[in-house]
Amino acid sequence: MPPIKQKNGTVLLGARHWDTWMVKQADLQGIRGGNEDEEQGFIDQYGNFLTRKEAWVIAKRQNQIMRYVGNQSSESVDDILWSENLY
């Protein structure tokens, strides 16, 4: 699940970054998206927020990368995770 973590610690959840559910949560909390006060990432099975970089390391180690995007390759070790890597 790709969440967005605000600088104040608020985490917004959705199936995709800034999908309808995430936008509704932001509206209810008076949060505006698309600014430097947020960090996109992922949630692990324990509910921990992971940065894109942290999530990449775990997904790579667990052989969860289904496809590479942009300049990524099977040799990429210091990259960031995109949802598209997982399906």
> Mind listing the pLDDT tens digit for each residue in 3-43?
889 888 888 988 888 889 989 998 998 887 666 778 999 99
pTM of the entire structure?
0.81
CA distance 61 to 52: 14
DSSP-derived secondary structure letter, 62:
T
46-61 in b/e form (b: 16+ CB < 10 A) is eeebbebebbbbebbe
Convert the pLDDT of each residue in 31-79 to its tens digit: 876 667 789 999 999 999 999 999 999 999 999 999 999 989 888 888 9
Which range of residues forms the domain containing residue 77? 4-86
How many residues appear in the chain?
87
Containing H/E element for 52?
A: helix 52-61
Instruction: Work out how many domains the chain is built from and give that number.
Output: 1
Q: Is 6 helix (H, G, I), strand (E, B) or coil?
A: strand
Q: What are phi and psi of 57, to 5 degrees?
A: -60, -45
